[in-house]
Chains A and B, each alone.
Chain A
Amino acid sequence: MSTVPMSRVPTHPAAVPMVTRYAMPHEPHYASATGIFSVMWLLLVLPLAGAAILLLGGRRTNRWGHLLATAAAATSFVVALLLFFALLGRSGDDRAVSQHLFSWIPVNSFQVDAGLLFDQLSALFVLLITGVGTLIHVYSIGYMAHDPARRKFFAYMNLFLASMLLLVLGDNFLVLYAGWELVGLSSYLLIKFWEDRPAAATAANKAFYMNRVGDVGLALAVMFMFATVGSTNFDTVFGAAAAGVIGYGTLTAIALLLLLGACGKSGQFPLQAWLPDAMEGPTPISALIHAATMVTAGVYLIARANPIFTETQAARTVVVIIGAGTILIGCVIGCAYDDIKKVLAYSTVSQIGYMFLAVGLGPAGYALGIMHLLAHGFFKAGLFLGAGSVIHAMNDEQDMRKYGALWRLMPVTWATFGICYLAIIGFPPLSGFFTKDKIIEAAFDKGGTSGYLLGSAALLGAGITAFYMTRLFLMTFHGERRWSDKGPRAVHPHESPRVMTGPMIPLAIGAAVAGGLFVLGGSVQNWLAPVVGESAEEGVHTMSPVVLTALTLLVAAGGFAGAYLRYQLRPVEAVAPPDAEVGLVTVAARHDLYANTFNEAVFMRPGQYATRFLVWLDTVGVDGAVRGSAAAVGGLSGRLRRTQTGFVRSYALSMLGGAVLVVGALYLVKVG
């Protein structure tokens, strides 16, 4: 195919002289898009056109809008597959193809081009986004069949696909930022899709605000890059980072700001509180945006910016601490909720914690994080779609305490959900077993006390994950039925239609085989090596991998056994025990470990007081001065105009008085 010589980006020699801040010629480090790659832009434009047609077409497109949107997603997936296989056909270090679209911001020395980059990393993401996205589009046809605003839903879904693809395909940080903001917008629009519910509207606002906090970090990081390197192109920035021309302090600052952005988007501590609330959106959205794709954008950002993170140990330490901490936060809270979607949301938070932990480990972990991300994309999307199927069957009931014994009634949902469930708790040989095990191993291999701490946190997380996921599975599908098909609250659970169960099957298959496919033979690691660097495989192992795997399985089995004893062998109360009867940890977990309380007390209330004070200052101070002077003038003139009596003789008197005064004054000046 192309013969353009190309070498690995971070170590490209031409990147070294790019220290000057001004007007550096953009050298094409990536192969330019020729042949099949020249249709790269179609990936983005197809869903974008779908969204535009559905939004502008209005009610006319109601009848076939969802089909068009699904077709757009599917076509995009086909294009992604074609490009992926074309990429496979290229040699290993020539697998980064960029397409220049147009000159976006041409301002003297500040040149930003809108360009796409299809390399090993973005290829995997594009496949995940379009593939899972297409399946969820199909599922939504059934799930949203009776919703009067289904067309709008599909339009937003297509908009999300286009934004997410822009995020992962952008070849510079500014394009990435545009995608980053657009996915935030689509997420907002879809969380508040049922906007007549106050909870959904509030959740959407909360998600938007907390994302803004992270977005400010990302924006500042981009500005820092421009200030120090003079460009936002991946190759230029990474070249400068790898060549060491950015000071360590600046580099760490950029990395930490990127991390702030990643934490906001990925629901990591301390910005995790919005993600569980985002479950107010329709369940397909929870599956696509708030589990499989958008919330993993933070991991993508760190993996993409790996040349920066590799250079700064300090920032990576923060990343692993956040990752390990979030694993445990998510797990612990996940054990306490009875709302099936909230449990899955906290599970997402904790699984992304694993990915952060992995990418924070540096070159040893970038590929592991991406692998877990892809596997998670399958099993978590499958879990959410299964949960949606159950919620659909139970008349929108989300409380697991009102489920039970559904497995016979919903065999397909039970089977696919079960496979995804086994995958997430790391049951061999399903995907979670491979990917999570690798991360735990890498954490231990970090060495030293920190390695043991991180590894133990990840190991403990695996155990708790097994506990709460087993709890969720047993409470939903097994045990006694805690619902009734008679009386005022009657439900008639039934298997979902084909259009909904259909997409769950490929996801379950993916959840089953993806891990082995990725890990065995190091296929994904080798594939990603040109982007994220070679992992120091065969380094010193803190523990023998076999022992560690056995230990992980043992811990997970412990979690499973605990949940089995508690929720299968003993009956589950149909109403959650009140706070007074449960332990302190459970109470804390039920209150999201007081994250919302903390945010409210530390950020929201003072903010409200500050705004109230400013409003008071404005009404009393600024407006007061303006209104006061106006009132003074008005009052004074109201009195003064009384002298306009209309009697000509009084005017004559005042003229005379005035004349006398003038004469008197003259007299005083001249004579006196």
Chain B
Amino acid sequence: MNPANYLILSALLFTIGAVGVLLRRNAIVVFMCVELMLNAANLTLVTFSRINGTLDGQIIAFFVMVVAAAEVVIGLAVILTIFRTRRSASVDDVNLLKY
């Protein structure tokens, strides 16, 4: 199969993720969209690894997964804490840190 198709799929996933981050208010959904973007990036890495015939991309993809896993832990904890104090999971409600 043409490797370019994987790239197109990756771009689509990334776009969906980015639009989701920008448009959705629910922190959990925004978080999932961030994961989507990360995995789109992983797909690109693996695809290029395949195209170039090297393993670098695949190794970096593993790193990204590890980082993503760590991020999930921290991120969910943050979201949970915010929800407990403010009774809301909307990212627009958390806007105290401003000018």
A645 touches B22 (CB 8 A): no
Among A66-74, A392-400, A648-656, the one that faces the other chain is A648-656
With A656-B18, A656-B22 known as contacts, the answer to whether A649 contacts B98 (CB < 8 A) is no
In this assembly, does B21 line the interface, its C-beta being within 8 Å of a C-beta of chain A?
A: yes
Interface string of B55-99 (1 = CB under 8 A from A): 000000000000000000000000000000000000110111111
Cα of A71 to Cα of B33 in the assembled complex, Å: 101
A646 & B98 in contact (Cβ 8 Å cutoff):
yes
Q: Give which listed residue, A646, A652, A656, contacts B97 with CB less than 8 A.
A: A646
Asked if A644 and B22 make an inter-chain contact with CB atoms under 8 angstroms apart, the answer reads no
Cβ of A653: which chain B residues have Cβ within 8 Å of it?
22
Q: CA–CA, A656 to B20, complex, Å?
A: 12
Q: Across the two chains, which residue of chain B brings its CB closest to A652? A: B21
Measured in the bound complex, the distance between the Cα atoms of B22 and A641 in whole Å is: 21
Task: Name A's interface SS.
Answer: helix
Q: A182-216 CB contact bits vs B (8 Å, 1 = yes)?
A: 00000000000000000000000000000000000
Contacts of B92 in A (CB 8 A): 647, 649
Chain B proximity mask over A648-668: 1 for CB below 8 Å, otherwise 0? 110011001000000000000
A627 to B97, CA, bound (A): 30
Min CB gap A641→B, angstroms:
4
B69 to chain A, nearest CB (A): 22
In angstroms, Cα B92 to Cα A647, docked, is 6
In the docked arrangement, what's the CA distance between A646 and B97, Å? 5
Q: Which A residues are in CB contact (< 8 Å) with B22? A: 649, 652-653, 656
B11 to chain A minimum Cβ distance, whole angstroms, is: 12
Which residues of A sit under 8 angstroms from B18, Cβ to Cβ?
Answer: 656
In the complex, chain A residues whose CB is within 8 Å of the CB of B21: 649, 652
Known: A656-B18, A656-B22. A649 touches B91 (CB 8 A): yes
3 smallest beta-carbon distances between A and B, as pairs: A646-B98, A646-B95, A641-B99
22 of the cross-chain contacts (CB-CB < 8 Å) are: A641-B99, A642-B99, A644-B98, A644-B99, A645-B95, A645-B98, A645-B99, A646-B94, A646-B97, A647-B91, A648-B91, A648-B94, A648-B95, A649-B21, A649-B22, A649-B23, A649-B91, A649-B92, A652-B21, A652-B22, A653-B22, A656-B18
Known interface pairs A646-B96, A649-B91; 19 further A-B residue pairs with C-beta atoms within 8 A, sorted by A's residue number: A642-B99, A644-B99, A645-B95, A645-B99, A646-B94, A646-B98, A647-B91, A647-B92, A647-B95, A648-B91, A648-B95, A649-B21, A649-B22, A649-B25, A649-B30, A649-B92, A653-B22, A656-B18, A656-B22
